């Protein structure tokens, strides 16, 4: 290697040398070269001054906080876990399936009898798969006359007028939320009503537990329930003027299952929706 080319090569190492980033072998060669090469020494001085000048630049302070708006995050602070969406969808589907089974079994038990209301509910459940949760609750409520007399009837009454079906006060919290938000059919329901104005978290928590569907489920499960008690207690305007006739015995387990699944799905739907409020 000629002196010239060695100078050219080692000169390129000066900055790495300044930064202590030179491997031992080239480092030794450069240090030896620097002893004899005035040019490289001058170069090194200039580069060191340049580096020192750069280092003299002060750190800057942010002129304002760059924090992101918290609204960008989900309200609960965490996004809904993906299984939640699948669970309520699956639950709704299962509830619709149960309703269908109830129809089938009611036909089997009493063909041509009392199937109009049932098939009505079941078919709309099948046509509008995003609404079966609300439908199931409505159906269960219609067959769960005693439900309105449960102790926490007050928030239900508050939410009931906003429900699509005013004849279903017993299952108000869950279907009000499900019907108002999910079905998109909650025309008369103002958006906040979907979140149960009488203490959103309370109502939500109440609806979230399967026990909320308890009265309806229990009423439907007891086959010895007198038909007279199935008449809806409140005297609100009723969509169906006559109280629905008692379901045939073969359909009741399926109806109960549909009610439980529907209520559970509606509750999960609400939880899922509320954790996705980031989309305005």
Partner 1 sequence: MSSVDDDGPALAAARHGDAVAFNRLVLRYQDAVYSLCARLTGNAEDAADAAQEAFLSAYRNLGGFRGGSFRSWLFRIAANCAYDTLRQRKRRPADSLDRPRADDGEGETPALALPDPGAGPEAATLRRELEALIQRGLLTLPEDQRLAVVLCDLFGYDYAAIATDTGVELGTVKSRINRGRRRLRDFLLTHRELLPASYRPTESPGVEAGPAPSAPP
The residues of the shown chain that bind partner 1, judged by CB under 8 A, are 3-4, 7-8, 11-12, 14-16, 19, 21, 37-40, 42-43, 45-47, 49-70, 72-74, 77-79
* Relative orientation angle of helices 3-11 and 24-36, to the nearest 10 degrees: 120
Q: How far is the CB of 191 from partner 1 (least distance, A)?
A: 23
If the CB atoms of residues 72 and 228 are measured against partner 1, the closer one turns out to be 72
Residue 4 CB-density burial (10 A; 0-12 exposed, 13-18 middle, 19+ buried): exposed
Minimum distance of partner 1 from residue 83's CB (angstroms): 14
Is residue 192 within 8 Å of residue 116, measured between CB atoms?
Answer: no
To partner 1, the closest distance from the beta carbon of 11 in angstroms equals 6
Q: How many beta carbons lie within 10 A of that of residue 145, not counting itself?
A: 23
Nearest residue (CB) to partner 1, 33 versus 131: 33
Q: Contact at 8 Å (CB) between 118 and 142?
A: no
3-state secondary structure of 160: helix
Shortest separation between residue 82's beta carbon and partner 1, angstroms: 12
Question: What does each C-alpha distance from 57 to 44, 53, 61, 88, 257 come to in angstroms?
Answer: 20, 7, 13, 58, 72
Query: CB of 48: closest distance to partner 1 in angstroms?
Result: 9
Q: Between 61 and 112, name the residue whose CB sits nearer to partner 1.
A: 61
State the nearest-atom distance from the C-beta of 7 to partner 1, in Å. Answer: 6
Nearer CB in complex with partner 1: 218/276: 276
Residues with Cβ within 8 Å of residue 113, at least 6 apart in sequence: 106, 248
Structure token digits, residue 123: 């078919």
Nearer Cβ to partner 1 (64/224): 64
CB-based contact 98:258 (threshold 8 Å): yes
Q: Which residues contact 134 (CB under 8 A, 6 or more apart)?
A: 164, 174, 175, 178, 179, 182, 183, 262, 266
The least CB distance from residue 209 to partner 1, in Å, is: 25
What is the Cα Rg of the chain in Å? Answer: 36
Nearer to partner 1, 54 or 237 (CB): 54
DSSP 243: P
Q: What's the min distance (Å) between Cβ of 25 and partner 1?
A: 15
Nearer to partner 1, 63 or 226 (CB): 63
Residue 4 or 242 with smaller CB distance to partner 1: 4
């Amino acid at each position: 290697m000629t002196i010239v080319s060695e100078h050219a090569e080692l000169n390129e190492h000066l900055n790495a040398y300044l930064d202590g980033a030179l491997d031992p072998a080239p480092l030794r060669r450069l240090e030896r070269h620097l002893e004899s090469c005035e040019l490289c020494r001058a170069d090194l001085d200039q580069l060191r001054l340049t580096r020192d000048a750069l280092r003299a630049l002060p750190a800057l302070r942010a002129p304002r906080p760059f924090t992101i708006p918290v609204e960008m995050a989900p309200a609960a602070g965490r996004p809904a876990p993906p299984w939640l969406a699948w669970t309520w969808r699956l639950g709704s589907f299962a509830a619709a399936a149960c309703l269908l089974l109830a129809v089938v079994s009611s036909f089997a038990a009493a063909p041509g009898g009392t199937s109009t209301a049932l098939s009505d509910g079941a078919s709309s459940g099948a046509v509008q798969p995003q609404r079966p949760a609300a439908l199931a609750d409505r159906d269960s409520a219609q067959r769960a006359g005693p439900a309105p007399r449960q102790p926490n009837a007050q928030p239900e009454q508050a939410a009931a007028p906003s429900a699509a079906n005013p004849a279903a006060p017993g299952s108000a919290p869950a279907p009000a939320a499900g019907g108002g938000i999910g079905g998109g059919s909650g025309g008369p329901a103002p958006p906040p009503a979907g979140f149960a104005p009488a203490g959103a978290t309370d109502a939500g928590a109440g609806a979230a537990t399967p026990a909320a569907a308890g009265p309806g489920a229990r009423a439907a499960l007891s086959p010895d329930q007198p038909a007279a008690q199935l008449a809806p207690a409140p005297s609100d305007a009723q969509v169906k003027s006559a109280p629905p006739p008692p379901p045939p015995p073969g359909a009741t387990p399926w109806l109960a299952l549909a009610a439980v699944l529907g209520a559970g799905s509606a509750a999960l739907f609400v939880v899922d929706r509320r954790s996705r409020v980031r989309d305005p």
